[in-house]
Each structure stands twice: as C-alpha cells, then as structure tokens.
Amino acid sequence: MLDHSISSLPSGLEHSVSGSMLPDLQISFRVFAAHRRKVNANWSFPEHKHSQYEINVVLEGSQHMRVEGRNYTQTEGELLWLTPNQRHSSLGVLDGTTMEYICIHFEVDDSWLRQQLNQLTDVRYPVGSPLEQALRPIIKDVAQATKESEGTHQKLLTLQASFRLFAVLSELLLQVKQQHSAQSPTTELAEQIAAQIEREWALVSNAEDGTDDKVPLRIEQLAEQLGYSSTHCNRVFHKAYGISPRQYVSMIKLRKAKLLLMNPALSIEQISEQLGYRDLSQFSKQFKRWTNMSPTAYRQLSY
C-alpha cells in the first residue's frame, strides 16, 4: 500500500526557482488464492466469475477453457488473462492424461490503475507474446514458492513476486499508453464518474446511516449532472474499470478503513465514526464481509 499524501511536510516553495511534483499515490493491492495444481482427465471447474484479476498459466499439458462463452485451447506455457467479472470455466484436460497449471488472483482498489489494466483486452496470450514473456520469470518463481513449506520464507517469496508482478504490468501499460495516446469519449466519461464518486463518497460517509443504501441515488444524480442516463454511466464505468460505481464506493471505503486501522492513535470506534457508520457493530460486520476478518484482527496483522 502506498500513501504519499503527507500533509504535515513543509512545502519547500520559499525561494524556489523551479520544480515539479509527482502525483500522490494511494493504491492497495491484494494477491490471494494463488495455487499450483495437477489434475487428471476427469477434472473440471464450473463456470464462475469474481471481482479480481486472474492470471492462469499451464505448466504442463493442455487445458480447455471457456471465457464469456468463447472456447480457448491453452497449451503449455500459454497465459490466460481474465479481467473482473468475466465468466469462465475449465472444461478439463485436452489430451486425456494430466495437466498442471498455476493460477494467481489479484485485486486493485484504484480506479485509474484498474482502467489501465483493463486495456489488456486479449484473453489468451501465447508463448512469446510480450505479456507472456514479461510474466514468465515471475510465474516460474511463484510456482517454485508453492513448493516451499508455509512460513515466513514463503510469504517473503510471495511478496517479492507480487511487487515484481505490478512492476512488470506497469512497464507493459506504459507501452500500451504510448501506442494509444488518445482517449475515447467513453473513457473520459468513466474518468469523470470516478473522480466525482471520490468527491461524493465523502458526503455518503458522513450520512447518519453508513451503509451504501444511498449510493444508487447518488449515481443517478451524478448521471443527471453529466447529462447521461444512469444506465449509460453504469455501463461505461463497468467497461472501463470492471466493476460498477456502487462496487467502487465499497472499495474506497475499504481502502480508507485499512489506512485508518494502521494508525494506532485512532480507536476502532473513532474509525467507525469517521467512515460514517452509526455504530461499531455495523462497521465490524461490513469490514468482515469485505475481508473475512474483524477490524481488530486486521489491526493486529499490521503490527
């Protein structure tokens, strides 16, 4: 997690001749459910979808995958790139013997970064493609880490691979950005919606009821302000970021909750109030739905 917005630092502007600043970053990501598995000819996995990105690579053998109703033949070394909420399933091994694969899920809570990642629109990346080549050494190290016994060493290897993953993806996105410098009108609209949601969330979080019940109304009001229907805004936003505006509000609140929980000077009750929840119980229940752990448990992990 990166948080470079430190308001207590002096500006340093006095007697300055020239200068420039980089943008503040407040991005958190989560790599989870990474696994390596070898299966026989009878194995398959039912159709499902989730809000995370997924990288699926065949290490040995071949696999029959279906993504959004389209069939893909995935041979050894080939990579499947799945964006949030894409329906996908594995129809099993192609050659009737065995198949080994590795799967990595990761989650990003920043709308701008999600938009950039969603520019990688292909599902199948063959051996030798830029994405496969860039990720190959990382996938190899993740596969090796799965052989380690659980403990500090395995966690450090996973952490190292996670940072390398995002570094490589950033390099690829820079290349994509240089090749497609012009933004489409729908992309600009999605960015406007995201920026306004960030501002509107402060009003929602200060409401007497801290739930997301009022979010749909605010999205409708936002669409009206921009001169579009709420249906169009939801569709454009989902295409750019892979999630709905309502889901994005929840991600903002979760990111803020995590940051506040890392501040030992704040009690959990104070954090609950800052986020706009009417009581500690409501905040705790919502946080557990998001993370499968209580605010207290998350705070303990941070120290």
Residue 108 or 38, more confident: 38
**Residue among 194, 302, 285 nearest 242 (CA):** 194
Hey, where are the domains in the chain? 26-179, 185-301
The alpha carbon of 85 is separated from its chain's Cα centroid by a whole number of angstroms, namely 12
Fold that domain 185-301 belongs to in CATH: Arc Repressor Mutant, subunit A (1.10.10)
* pLDDT for the residue numbered 212: 46
Q: According to the CATH classification, is domain 26-179 in 2.60.120.280?
A: yes
Q: What pTM was computed for the model? A: 0.69
Backbone angles phi, psi at 45, to 5 degrees: -135, 130
Residue 2 or 69, more confident: 69
pLDDT band at 109 (very low <50, low <70, confident <90, very high): confident
Per-residue pLDDT tens over the stretch 8-29: 556 666 777 877 777 666 677 7
Contact (Cβ atoms closer than 8 angstroms) between residue 290 and residue 250: yes
Both structure tokens of 298: 């998350």
The strand pairing partners of 140, in sequence order, are none
